[in-house]
A and B are shown apart, each in its own frame.
Chain A
Amino acid sequence: MSWFQPWGVARGLIVFGALALAPLLLPQHWMLNLAIFTLMYAALAVAWNLIGGYAGYVSLGHAAFFGIGAYTLGITLDKLGLSTPGAASSSFHDLVPFLLLPAIGIAVALMSLPVAWVALRTRATTFAIVTLTLLFVVQTLAFNLTKLTGGSQGLAFPVPSFAVDSFERPFYLAMLALLALAMLISWYVRGAKLGLALFAIRDDEDRARGLGVRTTGAKLSAFAASVGLTAMCGGVWAYYISFIYPQFAVDPLISIGTVLMVYLGGRGTLWGPVLGAAVVIPAQQYLAYRFGQNNLYLIGYAAVFLLVIVLLPRGIAPSLADWFRRRGRRAEAQEGEPELTPRVPVRGGG
Protein backbone atom coordinates (compact mmCIF):
# COMPACT_ATOMS: atom_id res chain seq x y z
CA MET A 1 0.00 0.00 0.00
CA SER A 2 1.59 3.19 -1.16
CA TRP A 3 0.92 6.84 -0.56
CA PHE A 4 1.26 7.66 -4.23
CA GLN A 5 -1.35 6.38 -6.62
CA PRO A 6 -0.65 7.47 -10.21
CA TRP A 7 -4.29 8.29 -10.97
CA GLY A 8 -4.74 10.16 -7.67
CA VAL A 9 -1.65 12.27 -8.21
CA ALA A 10 -2.68 13.00 -11.79
CA ARG A 11 -6.15 14.02 -10.67
CA GLY A 12 -4.69 16.37 -8.08
CA LEU A 13 -2.31 17.95 -10.57
CA ILE A 14 -5.01 18.39 -13.20
CA VAL A 15 -7.52 19.98 -10.82
CA PHE A 16 -5.06 22.33 -9.17
CA GLY A 17 -3.32 23.17 -12.45
CA ALA A 18 -6.63 24.12 -14.02
CA LEU A 19 -7.60 26.14 -10.97
CA ALA A 20 -4.29 28.03 -11.01
CA LEU A 21 -4.85 29.05 -14.63
CA ALA A 22 -8.51 29.90 -14.15
CA PRO A 23 -8.04 33.62 -13.26
CA LEU A 24 -6.66 34.22 -16.73
CA LEU A 25 -9.83 32.79 -18.25
CA LEU A 26 -12.32 34.35 -15.84
CA PRO A 27 -11.96 38.06 -16.51
CA GLN A 28 -15.15 39.23 -14.80
CA HIS A 29 -14.78 40.42 -11.23
CA TRP A 30 -17.93 38.71 -10.02
CA MET A 31 -16.72 35.36 -11.31
CA LEU A 32 -13.43 35.63 -9.47
CA ASN A 33 -15.21 36.86 -6.40
CA LEU A 34 -17.43 33.80 -6.47
CA ALA A 35 -14.42 31.59 -7.12
CA ILE A 36 -12.59 33.03 -4.11
CA PHE A 37 -15.47 32.21 -1.79
CA THR A 38 -15.86 28.75 -3.27
CA LEU A 39 -12.14 28.04 -2.75
CA MET A 40 -12.33 29.43 0.77
CA TYR A 41 -15.22 27.21 1.75
CA ALA A 42 -13.59 24.24 0.05
CA ALA A 43 -10.48 24.82 2.16
CA LEU A 44 -12.61 25.30 5.29
CA ALA A 45 -14.52 22.10 4.55
CA VAL A 46 -11.37 20.06 3.92
CA ALA A 47 -9.90 21.43 7.15
CA TRP A 48 -13.07 20.68 9.12
CA ASN A 49 -13.12 17.16 7.70
CA LEU A 50 -9.82 16.42 9.47
CA ILE A 51 -11.49 16.42 12.86
CA GLY A 52 -15.20 16.21 11.96
CA GLY A 53 -14.93 13.61 9.21
CA TYR A 54 -11.85 11.57 10.03
CA ALA A 55 -12.20 11.49 13.81
CA GLY A 56 -15.98 11.90 13.89
CA TYR A 57 -15.85 14.86 16.27
CA VAL A 58 -18.46 17.24 14.87
CA SER A 59 -17.29 20.76 15.70
CA LEU A 60 -19.81 23.56 15.31
CA GLY A 61 -17.30 26.13 16.52
CA HIS A 62 -14.83 26.40 13.67
CA ALA A 63 -16.10 29.87 12.83
CA ALA A 64 -14.54 30.96 16.12
CA PHE A 65 -11.11 30.09 14.76
CA PHE A 66 -11.92 31.65 11.40
CA GLY A 67 -12.68 34.88 13.25
CA ILE A 68 -9.62 34.55 15.48
CA GLY A 69 -7.46 34.23 12.37
CA ALA A 70 -9.09 37.29 10.81
CA TYR A 71 -8.68 39.39 13.94
CA THR A 72 -5.15 38.18 14.67
CA LEU A 73 -4.06 39.25 11.21
CA GLY A 74 -5.87 42.57 11.47
CA ILE A 75 -4.50 43.38 14.90
CA THR A 76 -0.97 42.37 13.89
CA LEU A 77 -1.12 44.62 10.82
CA ASP A 78 -2.46 47.39 13.02
CA LYS A 79 0.40 47.00 15.51
CA LEU A 80 2.90 46.97 12.66
CA GLY A 81 1.46 50.31 11.58
CA LEU A 82 0.38 48.99 8.21
CA SER A 83 -3.31 49.68 8.63
CA THR A 84 -3.15 53.45 8.90
CA PRO A 85 -4.35 55.11 5.73
CA GLY A 86 -1.46 56.72 3.92
CA ALA A 87 1.10 54.27 5.29
CA ALA A 88 3.73 53.90 2.64
CA SER A 89 2.17 51.56 0.16
CA SER A 90 4.48 49.42 -1.88
CA SER A 91 4.04 46.07 -3.52
CA PHE A 92 5.99 44.52 -0.63
CA HIS A 93 3.63 45.99 1.94
CA ASP A 94 0.72 44.57 0.01
CA LEU A 95 2.12 41.09 0.39
CA VAL A 96 2.92 41.31 4.11
CA PRO A 97 -0.50 39.99 5.17
CA PHE A 98 -0.01 36.89 3.03
CA LEU A 99 3.47 36.37 4.45
CA LEU A 100 2.13 36.56 7.99
CA LEU A 101 -0.39 33.78 7.36
CA PRO A 102 1.76 30.75 8.21
CA ALA A 103 2.73 32.31 11.53
CA ILE A 104 -0.93 33.01 12.28
CA GLY A 105 -1.96 29.49 11.38
CA ILE A 106 0.65 28.00 13.67
CA ALA A 107 -0.07 30.45 16.49
CA VAL A 108 -3.81 29.75 16.42
CA ALA A 109 -3.20 26.01 16.22
CA LEU A 110 -1.00 26.12 19.32
CA MET A 111 -3.33 28.49 21.14
CA SER A 112 -6.28 26.18 20.53
CA LEU A 113 -4.63 23.25 22.25
CA PRO A 114 -5.74 23.94 25.85
CA VAL A 115 -9.34 24.55 24.79
CA ALA A 116 -9.22 21.52 22.52
CA TRP A 117 -7.86 19.38 25.32
CA VAL A 118 -10.88 20.19 27.48
CA ALA A 119 -13.40 19.98 24.65
CA LEU A 120 -12.06 16.68 23.29
CA ARG A 121 -12.55 15.02 26.65
CA THR A 122 -16.26 15.17 25.91
CA ARG A 123 -17.89 12.98 23.31
CA ALA A 124 -20.28 13.31 20.39
CA THR A 125 -23.12 15.65 21.17
CA THR A 126 -21.45 17.34 24.10
CA PHE A 127 -18.41 18.12 21.98
CA ALA A 128 -20.60 19.75 19.34
CA ILE A 129 -22.28 21.84 22.01
CA VAL A 130 -19.07 22.90 23.72
CA THR A 131 -17.57 24.03 20.42
CA LEU A 132 -20.74 25.91 19.54
CA THR A 133 -20.59 27.68 22.88
CA LEU A 134 -16.97 28.56 22.21
CA LEU A 135 -18.08 30.27 19.01
CA PHE A 136 -20.44 32.56 20.88
CA VAL A 137 -17.84 33.34 23.50
CA VAL A 138 -15.34 34.36 20.84
CA GLN A 139 -18.00 36.51 19.20
CA THR A 140 -18.70 38.20 22.54
CA LEU A 141 -14.99 38.81 22.96
CA ALA A 142 -14.76 40.33 19.50
CA PHE A 143 -17.60 42.68 20.38
CA ASN A 144 -16.23 43.61 23.77
CA LEU A 145 -12.46 43.83 23.46
CA THR A 146 -12.99 47.14 21.71
CA LYS A 147 -9.41 48.35 22.18
CA LEU A 148 -8.14 45.46 20.07
CA THR A 149 -10.99 44.62 17.74
CA GLY A 150 -12.80 47.92 17.42
CA GLY A 151 -15.93 46.13 18.68
CA SER A 152 -19.06 46.81 16.66
CA GLN A 153 -17.25 49.66 14.90
CA GLY A 154 -15.28 47.05 12.99
CA LEU A 155 -11.62 46.66 12.20
CA ALA A 156 -10.02 48.08 9.07
CA PHE A 157 -7.37 46.32 7.01
CA PRO A 158 -4.84 48.04 4.75
CA VAL A 159 -6.13 48.45 1.21
CA PRO A 160 -3.60 46.92 -1.17
CA SER A 161 -2.54 48.73 -4.29
CA PHE A 162 -3.21 45.84 -6.67
CA ALA A 163 -4.20 46.84 -10.18
CA VAL A 164 -7.95 47.26 -10.49
CA ASP A 165 -8.23 44.87 -13.43
CA SER A 166 -6.64 41.97 -11.61
CA PHE A 167 -7.41 43.01 -8.03
CA GLU A 168 -8.84 39.61 -7.05
CA ARG A 169 -5.99 37.53 -8.40
CA PRO A 170 -3.64 37.58 -5.38
CA PHE A 171 -6.53 36.64 -3.09
CA TYR A 172 -7.64 33.93 -5.46
CA LEU A 173 -4.16 32.45 -5.57
CA ALA A 174 -3.80 32.70 -1.78
CA MET A 175 -7.08 30.83 -1.24
CA LEU A 176 -6.03 28.26 -3.84
CA ALA A 177 -2.74 27.77 -2.02
CA LEU A 178 -4.63 27.26 1.27
CA LEU A 179 -6.91 24.72 -0.36
CA ALA A 180 -3.87 22.93 -1.77
CA LEU A 181 -2.25 22.92 1.67
CA ALA A 182 -5.42 21.63 3.29
CA MET A 183 -5.74 18.87 0.69
CA LEU A 184 -2.09 17.96 1.08
CA ILE A 185 -2.45 17.63 4.85
CA SER A 186 -5.71 15.77 4.48
CA TRP A 187 -4.17 13.36 1.98
CA TYR A 188 -1.01 12.86 4.03
CA VAL A 189 -2.95 12.20 7.22
CA ARG A 190 -5.15 9.53 5.68
CA GLY A 191 -2.10 7.69 4.43
CA ALA A 192 -0.36 7.90 7.79
CA LYS A 193 -0.79 6.15 11.12
CA LEU A 194 -2.43 9.35 12.32
CA GLY A 195 -5.26 8.79 9.88
CA LEU A 196 -5.68 5.19 10.97
CA ALA A 197 -5.79 6.33 14.60
CA LEU A 198 -8.45 8.95 13.76
CA PHE A 199 -10.59 6.43 11.88
CA ALA A 200 -10.27 4.02 14.78
CA ILE A 201 -11.37 6.80 17.14
CA ARG A 202 -14.38 7.53 14.95
CA ASP A 203 -15.38 3.87 14.95
CA ASP A 204 -14.80 3.07 18.63
CA GLU A 205 -12.71 5.40 20.71
CA ASP A 206 -12.82 3.36 23.91
CA ARG A 207 -11.55 0.28 22.18
CA ALA A 208 -8.82 2.28 20.43
CA ARG A 209 -7.64 3.52 23.82
CA GLY A 210 -7.56 -0.04 25.07
CA LEU A 211 -5.30 -1.01 22.17
CA GLY A 212 -2.71 1.59 23.09
CA VAL A 213 -3.67 4.07 20.38
CA ARG A 214 -2.52 7.58 21.29
CA THR A 215 -6.03 8.95 21.05
CA THR A 216 -5.45 12.28 22.78
CA GLY A 217 -2.38 13.01 20.67
CA ALA A 218 -4.17 12.06 17.47
CA LYS A 219 -7.26 14.11 18.26
CA LEU A 220 -5.25 17.15 19.32
CA SER A 221 -3.04 17.02 16.19
CA ALA A 222 -6.07 16.77 13.92
CA PHE A 223 -7.88 19.55 15.76
CA ALA A 224 -4.85 21.86 15.74
CA ALA A 225 -4.19 21.32 12.03
CA SER A 226 -7.87 21.84 11.30
CA VAL A 227 -8.23 25.13 13.19
CA GLY A 228 -4.82 26.40 12.02
CA LEU A 229 -5.97 26.07 8.40
CA THR A 230 -9.31 27.61 9.30
CA ALA A 231 -7.57 30.61 10.87
CA MET A 232 -5.47 31.15 7.76
CA CYS A 233 -8.63 31.18 5.64
CA GLY A 234 -10.04 33.78 8.00
CA GLY A 235 -6.93 35.91 7.49
CA VAL A 236 -7.15 35.91 3.69
CA TRP A 237 -10.89 36.52 3.83
CA ALA A 238 -10.47 39.53 6.11
CA TYR A 239 -7.71 41.06 3.98
CA TYR A 240 -9.88 40.54 0.92
CA ILE A 241 -13.01 42.19 2.26
CA SER A 242 -10.77 44.74 4.07
CA PHE A 243 -13.17 45.63 6.89
CA ILE A 244 -14.46 43.13 9.44
CA TYR A 245 -17.22 43.11 12.05
CA PRO A 246 -17.66 40.59 14.87
CA GLN A 247 -20.98 39.27 13.60
CA PHE A 248 -19.51 38.46 10.17
CA ALA A 249 -16.03 37.33 11.19
CA VAL A 250 -17.40 34.98 13.86
CA ASP A 251 -20.56 33.88 12.13
CA PRO A 252 -22.43 30.69 13.05
CA LEU A 253 -23.41 30.46 9.39
CA ILE A 254 -19.74 29.89 8.49
CA SER A 255 -19.59 26.92 10.86
CA ILE A 256 -22.84 25.45 9.75
CA GLY A 257 -22.16 26.11 6.07
CA THR A 258 -18.84 24.31 6.28
CA VAL A 259 -20.42 21.34 8.01
CA LEU A 260 -23.18 21.25 5.42
CA MET A 261 -20.65 21.10 2.58
CA VAL A 262 -18.77 18.24 4.17
CA TYR A 263 -21.96 16.28 4.74
CA LEU A 264 -23.14 17.02 1.23
CA GLY A 265 -19.85 15.97 -0.34
CA GLY A 266 -19.18 12.98 1.87
CA ARG A 267 -17.80 12.88 5.36
CA GLY A 268 -14.36 11.37 5.80
CA THR A 269 -13.56 11.30 2.07
CA LEU A 270 -10.74 13.26 0.46
CA TRP A 271 -12.56 15.08 -2.36
CA GLY A 272 -16.05 15.12 -0.89
CA PRO A 273 -15.66 18.41 1.01
CA VAL A 274 -14.34 20.15 -2.14
CA LEU A 275 -17.26 18.80 -4.11
CA GLY A 276 -19.70 20.00 -1.45
CA ALA A 277 -18.28 23.53 -1.53
CA ALA A 278 -18.36 23.60 -5.31
CA VAL A 279 -22.08 22.85 -5.22
CA VAL A 280 -23.22 24.89 -2.22
CA ILE A 281 -21.37 28.19 -2.62
CA PRO A 282 -22.51 29.03 -6.15
CA ALA A 283 -26.05 27.99 -5.18
CA GLN A 284 -25.93 30.07 -2.02
CA GLN A 285 -24.51 33.13 -3.79
CA TYR A 286 -27.24 32.82 -6.37
CA LEU A 287 -29.87 32.70 -3.62
CA ALA A 288 -28.32 35.72 -1.93
CA TYR A 289 -28.24 37.55 -5.25
CA ARG A 290 -31.84 36.72 -6.12
CA PHE A 291 -33.38 37.06 -2.67
CA GLY A 292 -30.80 38.93 -0.61
CA GLN A 293 -32.85 42.12 -0.71
CA ASN A 294 -35.72 40.86 1.37
CA ASN A 295 -34.01 38.43 3.70
CA LEU A 296 -35.51 35.43 1.97
CA TYR A 297 -32.04 33.96 1.67
CA LEU A 298 -32.05 32.75 5.27
CA ILE A 299 -35.14 30.73 4.50
CA GLY A 300 -33.65 29.53 1.23
CA TYR A 301 -30.50 28.48 3.02
CA ALA A 302 -32.43 26.54 5.61
CA ALA A 303 -34.46 24.88 2.87
CA VAL A 304 -31.39 23.80 0.89
CA PHE A 305 -29.86 22.47 4.07
CA LEU A 306 -32.89 20.43 5.09
CA LEU A 307 -33.24 19.06 1.57
CA VAL A 308 -29.61 17.92 1.51
CA ILE A 309 -29.94 16.10 4.79
CA VAL A 310 -33.25 14.52 3.95
CA LEU A 311 -32.33 13.46 0.42
CA LEU A 312 -28.60 12.76 0.62
CA PRO A 313 -27.74 11.99 4.22
CA ARG A 314 -24.58 10.15 3.20
CA GLY A 315 -23.18 12.75 0.85
CA ILE A 316 -22.56 12.98 -2.87
CA ALA A 317 -19.20 11.21 -3.08
CA PRO A 318 -20.25 8.02 -1.25
CA SER A 319 -23.61 7.96 -3.03
CA LEU A 320 -21.89 8.35 -6.40
CA ALA A 321 -19.40 5.64 -5.49
CA ASP A 322 -22.29 3.37 -4.60
CA TRP A 323 -23.97 4.12 -7.85
CA PHE A 324 -20.84 3.29 -9.81
CA ARG A 325 -20.44 0.15 -7.80
CA ARG A 326 -23.95 -0.92 -8.59
CA ARG A 327 -23.32 -0.29 -12.25
CA GLY A 328 -20.62 -2.89 -12.00
CA ARG A 329 -17.80 -0.59 -12.98
CA ARG A 330 -15.95 -2.05 -10.05
CA ALA A 331 -16.70 -5.71 -9.84
CA GLU A 332 -14.86 -6.34 -6.62
CA ALA A 333 -16.81 -5.20 -3.60
CA GLN A 334 -13.80 -3.96 -1.70
CA GLU A 335 -12.70 -1.62 -4.46
CA GLY A 336 -15.48 0.96 -4.04
CA GLU A 337 -15.49 3.94 -1.80
CA PRO A 338 -18.15 3.10 0.76
CA GLU A 339 -19.21 5.78 3.19
CA LEU A 340 -16.47 6.73 5.63
CA THR A 341 -14.16 4.15 4.20
CA PRO A 342 -10.68 4.96 5.24
CA ARG A 343 -8.95 2.63 2.83
CA VAL A 344 -9.40 5.38 0.32
CA PRO A 345 -5.76 6.09 -0.46
CA VAL A 346 -6.33 3.24 -2.85
CA ARG A 347 -8.35 5.55 -5.05
CA GLY A 348 -8.24 8.88 -3.36
CA GLY A 349 -4.60 9.93 -3.42
CA GLY A 350 -4.28 13.61 -4.11
Chain B
Amino acid sequence: MATDGLLQVEGLTKRFGGVTAVDGCSFAVAEGAVTALIGPNGSGKTTLFNLVTGYLPADQGEVTFLGERVARPHPARLCRQGLARTFQQTRVFPHLSVLDNLVVGIQQPWSGLLRRRRGAADQERAEALVADFGLTAVAGQLAAELSYGQRKLVELATVLIGEPRLVLLDEPTAGISPALIPTIERHIRERNAAGVSFLVVEHDMGVVMRLCDPVIVLDRGSVIASGPPPAIQADPRVLDAYLGG
Protein backbone atom coordinates (compact mmCIF):
# COMPACT_ATOMS: atom_id res chain seq x y z
CA MET B 1 0.00 0.00 0.00
CA ALA B 2 1.27 3.40 -0.91
CA THR B 3 2.07 5.59 2.05
CA ASP B 4 2.19 8.94 0.35
CA GLY B 5 -0.44 11.38 1.49
CA LEU B 6 -1.70 12.41 4.86
CA LEU B 7 -4.62 10.12 5.44
CA GLN B 8 -5.40 6.75 3.96
CA VAL B 9 -8.60 4.83 4.38
CA GLU B 10 -8.52 1.20 3.39
CA GLY B 11 -11.59 -1.04 3.12
CA LEU B 12 -13.49 0.77 5.88
CA THR B 13 -16.87 -0.83 6.63
CA LYS B 14 -19.66 -0.04 9.11
CA ARG B 15 -23.03 -1.73 9.46
CA PHE B 16 -25.99 -0.49 11.50
CA GLY B 17 -28.13 -3.59 11.93
CA GLY B 18 -28.95 -4.59 8.36
CA VAL B 19 -27.86 -1.32 6.78
CA THR B 20 -24.32 -1.06 5.52
CA ALA B 21 -23.59 2.64 5.88
CA VAL B 22 -19.97 2.48 4.79
CA ASP B 23 -19.01 -0.39 2.54
CA GLY B 24 -15.35 -1.20 1.92
CA CYS B 25 -14.46 2.43 1.45
CA SER B 26 -10.90 3.25 0.34
CA PHE B 27 -9.31 6.58 -0.55
CA ALA B 28 -6.35 8.79 0.26
CA VAL B 29 -6.09 12.46 1.15
CA ALA B 30 -2.97 14.19 -0.13
CA GLU B 31 -0.97 16.63 1.94
CA GLY B 32 -1.63 20.24 1.08
CA ALA B 33 -4.89 19.70 -0.78
CA VAL B 34 -8.48 20.71 -0.12
CA THR B 35 -10.21 17.46 -0.93
CA ALA B 36 -13.97 17.30 -1.31
CA LEU B 37 -16.04 14.33 -0.24
CA ILE B 38 -19.41 14.48 -1.96
CA GLY B 39 -22.29 12.13 -2.52
CA PRO B 40 -26.07 11.99 -2.30
CA ASN B 41 -27.82 12.08 1.09
CA GLY B 42 -27.28 8.88 3.02
CA SER B 43 -24.20 7.89 1.07
CA GLY B 44 -22.23 7.56 4.31
CA LYS B 45 -20.17 10.75 4.42
CA THR B 46 -20.82 11.65 8.03
CA THR B 47 -20.52 8.05 9.17
CA LEU B 48 -17.16 7.94 7.41
CA PHE B 49 -16.05 11.02 9.35
CA ASN B 50 -17.19 9.38 12.57
CA LEU B 51 -15.22 6.23 11.77
CA VAL B 52 -12.05 8.04 10.80
CA THR B 53 -12.06 10.26 13.88
CA GLY B 54 -12.89 7.45 16.27
CA TYR B 55 -16.43 8.48 17.24
CA LEU B 56 -17.72 5.14 15.98
CA PRO B 57 -15.87 1.84 15.93
CA ALA B 58 -15.45 0.43 12.43
CA ASP B 59 -16.43 -3.17 11.67
CA GLN B 60 -13.59 -3.64 9.21
CA GLY B 61 -10.81 -1.76 7.50
CA GLU B 62 -8.05 0.48 8.60
CA VAL B 63 -7.11 4.12 8.79
CA THR B 64 -3.55 5.41 8.32
CA PHE B 65 -2.70 8.92 9.43
CA LEU B 66 0.74 10.48 8.88
CA GLY B 67 2.04 7.13 7.69
CA GLU B 68 1.06 5.31 10.86
CA ARG B 69 -1.74 2.83 11.17
CA VAL B 70 -4.36 4.03 13.66
CA ALA B 71 -5.19 0.86 15.53
CA ARG B 72 -7.99 2.21 17.72
CA PRO B 73 -8.97 5.69 16.61
CA HIS B 74 -9.59 7.95 19.59
CA PRO B 75 -10.89 11.50 18.95
CA ALA B 76 -8.70 13.35 21.45
CA ARG B 77 -5.53 11.46 20.60
CA LEU B 78 -6.03 11.94 16.86
CA CYS B 79 -6.67 15.60 17.39
CA ARG B 80 -3.42 15.97 19.30
CA GLN B 81 -1.69 14.23 16.39
CA GLY B 82 -3.16 16.81 14.04
CA LEU B 83 -6.49 15.42 12.81
CA ALA B 84 -9.41 17.65 13.78
CA ARG B 85 -13.03 17.84 12.69
CA THR B 86 -16.23 19.86 12.80
CA PHE B 87 -19.77 18.54 13.06
CA GLN B 88 -22.71 18.70 10.72
CA GLN B 89 -24.90 20.48 13.26
CA THR B 90 -22.73 23.34 14.37
CA ARG B 91 -21.41 22.67 17.83
CA VAL B 92 -19.90 25.29 20.11
CA PHE B 93 -19.68 25.38 23.91
CA PRO B 94 -22.76 27.50 24.56
CA HIS B 95 -21.95 28.57 28.13
CA LEU B 96 -18.38 29.59 27.35
CA SER B 97 -17.36 32.95 25.93
CA VAL B 98 -16.14 33.09 22.35
CA LEU B 99 -12.58 33.57 23.57
CA ASP B 100 -12.85 30.60 25.93
CA ASN B 101 -14.30 28.49 23.14
CA LEU B 102 -11.14 29.09 21.19
CA VAL B 103 -8.87 28.47 24.16
CA VAL B 104 -10.44 25.02 24.59
CA GLY B 105 -9.07 24.20 21.16
CA ILE B 106 -5.46 24.93 22.12
CA GLN B 107 -3.61 21.68 22.60
CA GLN B 108 -2.35 21.03 26.11
CA PRO B 109 0.08 18.62 27.68
CA TRP B 110 -1.14 16.76 30.76
CA SER B 111 0.49 19.20 33.14
CA GLY B 112 -1.32 22.02 31.38
CA LEU B 113 -4.55 21.17 33.20
CA LEU B 114 -3.33 22.93 36.32
CA ARG B 115 -2.04 26.01 34.56
CA ARG B 116 -3.93 29.24 34.23
CA ARG B 117 -7.02 28.89 32.12
CA ARG B 118 -6.07 31.71 29.77
CA GLY B 119 -2.37 32.45 29.98
CA ALA B 120 -0.84 35.41 28.19
CA ALA B 121 0.21 33.31 25.18
CA ASP B 122 -3.24 31.68 24.90
CA GLN B 123 -4.91 35.05 25.19
CA GLU B 124 -2.78 36.49 22.43
CA ARG B 125 -3.32 33.54 20.11
CA ALA B 126 -7.07 33.46 20.69
CA GLU B 127 -7.46 37.22 20.30
CA ALA B 128 -5.49 37.20 17.06
CA LEU B 129 -7.69 34.48 15.59
CA VAL B 130 -10.86 36.12 16.88
CA ALA B 131 -9.78 39.31 15.12
CA ASP B 132 -8.96 37.38 11.95
CA PHE B 133 -12.48 35.93 12.00
CA GLY B 134 -14.02 39.33 12.60
CA LEU B 135 -15.46 38.31 15.96
CA THR B 136 -13.67 40.80 18.19
CA ALA B 137 -16.90 42.65 18.99
CA VAL B 138 -18.46 39.50 20.45
CA ALA B 139 -15.29 37.97 21.95
CA GLY B 140 -16.62 38.29 25.51
CA GLN B 141 -20.13 37.03 24.76
CA LEU B 142 -21.39 33.55 25.46
CA ALA B 143 -21.42 31.40 22.36
CA ALA B 144 -25.11 30.69 23.02
CA GLU B 145 -25.89 34.35 22.35
CA LEU B 146 -24.38 34.37 18.86
CA SER B 147 -26.10 34.06 15.51
CA TYR B 148 -25.85 30.78 13.62
CA GLY B 149 -23.31 32.12 11.19
CA GLN B 150 -21.15 33.50 14.00
CA ARG B 151 -21.28 30.14 15.75
CA LYS B 152 -20.16 28.48 12.55
CA LEU B 153 -17.15 30.80 12.48
CA VAL B 154 -16.39 30.13 16.15
CA GLU B 155 -16.52 26.40 15.50
CA LEU B 156 -14.09 26.68 12.61
CA ALA B 157 -11.75 28.95 14.56
CA THR B 158 -11.78 26.59 17.55
CA VAL B 159 -10.64 23.75 15.32
CA LEU B 160 -7.99 25.83 13.58
CA ILE B 161 -6.41 27.24 16.73
CA GLY B 162 -5.13 23.76 17.59
CA GLU B 163 -2.86 23.92 14.52
CA PRO B 164 -4.04 20.70 12.91
CA ARG B 165 -2.42 19.05 9.89
CA LEU B 166 -5.72 17.90 8.47
CA VAL B 167 -9.23 19.18 9.17
CA LEU B 168 -12.40 17.26 8.34
CA LEU B 169 -15.17 19.78 7.74
CA ASP B 170 -18.72 18.48 7.79
CA GLU B 171 -20.77 20.87 5.65
CA PRO B 172 -19.00 24.14 6.50
CA THR B 173 -21.49 26.29 4.61
CA ALA B 174 -24.76 24.52 5.40
CA GLY B 175 -27.47 26.77 6.73
CA ILE B 176 -25.53 30.03 6.72
CA SER B 177 -26.42 33.14 4.80
CA PRO B 178 -24.99 33.26 1.28
CA ALA B 179 -23.16 36.45 2.21
CA LEU B 180 -21.03 34.52 4.67
CA ILE B 181 -20.01 31.74 2.29
CA PRO B 182 -17.12 33.66 0.69
CA THR B 183 -15.77 34.41 4.18
CA ILE B 184 -15.71 30.73 5.08
CA GLU B 185 -14.12 29.91 1.74
CA ARG B 186 -11.49 32.59 2.32
CA HIS B 187 -10.57 31.17 5.73
CA ILE B 188 -10.20 27.69 4.32
CA ARG B 189 -8.09 28.96 1.43
CA GLU B 190 -5.84 31.03 3.68
CA ARG B 191 -5.26 28.18 6.05
CA ASN B 192 -4.61 25.86 3.18
CA ALA B 193 -1.97 28.24 1.87
CA ALA B 194 -0.42 28.11 5.34
CA GLY B 195 -0.09 24.34 5.05
CA VAL B 196 -3.28 22.90 6.54
CA SER B 197 -5.00 20.21 4.50
CA PHE B 198 -8.78 19.83 4.39
CA LEU B 199 -11.30 17.11 3.68
CA VAL B 200 -14.65 18.76 3.10
CA VAL B 201 -18.12 17.27 2.97
CA GLU B 202 -20.19 19.82 1.10
CA HIS B 203 -23.50 19.95 -0.73
CA ASP B 204 -23.02 23.31 -2.38
CA MET B 205 -21.40 22.34 -5.68
CA GLY B 206 -20.36 25.91 -6.32
CA VAL B 207 -18.22 25.84 -3.21
CA VAL B 208 -16.82 22.44 -4.12
CA MET B 209 -15.86 23.51 -7.63
CA ARG B 210 -14.25 26.75 -6.48
CA LEU B 211 -12.45 25.38 -3.45
CA CYS B 212 -11.64 21.73 -3.86
CA ASP B 213 -9.30 19.58 -5.88
CA PRO B 214 -9.52 16.61 -6.00
CA VAL B 215 -13.10 15.49 -5.43
CA ILE B 216 -14.08 12.07 -4.08
CA VAL B 217 -17.59 10.81 -4.76
CA LEU B 218 -19.25 8.44 -2.35
CA ASP B 219 -22.37 6.42 -3.12
CA ARG B 220 -23.93 3.78 -0.87
CA GLY B 221 -20.86 3.68 1.30
CA SER B 222 -18.15 3.24 -1.31
CA VAL B 223 -16.08 5.48 -3.53
CA ILE B 224 -17.41 5.52 -7.09
CA ALA B 225 -15.19 8.21 -8.58
CA SER B 226 -12.40 10.58 -7.73
CA GLY B 227 -10.40 13.16 -9.61
CA PRO B 228 -10.23 16.85 -10.48
CA PRO B 229 -13.56 18.74 -10.41
CA PRO B 230 -14.10 19.02 -14.19
CA ALA B 231 -13.59 15.29 -14.66
CA ILE B 232 -16.04 14.56 -11.85
CA GLN B 233 -18.60 16.91 -13.34
CA ALA B 234 -18.36 15.06 -16.60
CA ASP B 235 -18.44 11.59 -15.08
CA PRO B 236 -21.71 9.78 -15.95
CA ARG B 237 -21.49 7.53 -12.86
CA VAL B 238 -21.67 10.57 -10.62
CA LEU B 239 -24.72 11.86 -12.40
CA ASP B 240 -26.31 8.43 -12.05
CA ALA B 241 -25.61 8.35 -8.35
CA TYR B 242 -27.25 11.73 -7.78
CA LEU B 243 -30.19 11.27 -10.11
CA GLY B 244 -30.73 7.56 -10.21
CA GLY B 245 -30.49 7.04 -6.39
Contacts and interface: CB of A to CB of B under 8 A. Distances in A.
Touch between A and B in complex, CB under 8 Å? yes
Interface of A: 1, 3, 190-197, 199-200, 202-204, 206-215, 217-218, 221, 333-334, 338-343, 345
Contacts of A221: 113
B84 interface: yes
Interface in B80-131: 80, 84-85, 87, 91-97, 100, 103-105, 107-108, 110, 112-118, 123
B75 interface: yes
B118 A211 contact: no
B55 interface: yes
Q: Which of A215, A221, A338, A342 has the most CB of B within 10 A?
A: A342
A334 B76 contact: no
A111 B197 CA distance: 44
B176 interface: no
Contact of A193 (B75, B84, B94, B108): B108
A215 B87 CA distance: 18
Contacts of B8: none
B76 A215 contact: yes
B76 A209 contact: yes
Q: Which of B53, B55, B91 has the most CB of A within 10 A?
A: B91
Given A193-B115, A210-B79, A199 B141 contact: no
B110 A207 contact: no
Q: Which of A197, A203, A208, A212 has the most CB of B within 10 A?
A: A212
Contacts of B95: 199, 202-203, 338-342
A193 B113 contact: yes
B75 A209 contact: yes
A193 B112 contact: yes
B142 interface: yes
B230 to A, nearest CB: 34
A239 B131 CA distance: 57
Minimum-distance CB pairs A-B, first 7: A212-B79, A203-B93, A209-B75, A194-B113, A210-B75, A334-B140, A212-B80
Contact of A192 (B87, B104, B114, B140): B114
Given A203-B93, A204-B93, A211-B162, A1 B118 contact: yes
A334 B110 contact: no
A210 B118 contact: no
B114 to A, nearest CB: 6
A211 B117 contact: no
A191 B122 CA distance: 14
Contacts of B76: 209-215
A276 to B, nearest CB: 20
A338 B108 contact: no
A270 to B, nearest CB: 14
B93 A210 contact: no
A211 B159 contact: yes
Contacts of A3: 116
Given A194-B113, A206-B75, A215-B76, 10 more contacts: A193-B115, A194-B114, A196-B117, A197-B113, A202-B95, A210-B53, A210-B79, A213-B104, A338-B142, A342-B95
Contact of A211 (B84, B110, B114): B84
B171 to A, nearest CB: 15
Given A191-B117, A192-B115, A194-B113, A199 B96 contact: yes
Contacts of B91: 204, 207
B110 A217 contact: yes
A200 B85 contact: no
A196 B79 contact: no
Contacts of A199: 93, 95-96, 100
Contacts of A193: 108, 112-117
A61 B145 CA distance: 35
A342 B100 contact: yes
30 contacts: A1-B116, A1-B117, A191-B116, A193-B112, A193-B114, A193-B115, A194-B113, A194-B114, A195-B117, A196-B100, A197-B113, A199-B96, A199-B100, A200-B104, A203-B94, A204-B91, A208-B93, A210-B75, A210-B84, A210-B87, A211-B79, A212-B107, A214-B113, A217-B110, A333-B145, A334-B142, A338-B95, A340-B95, A343-B97, A343-B140
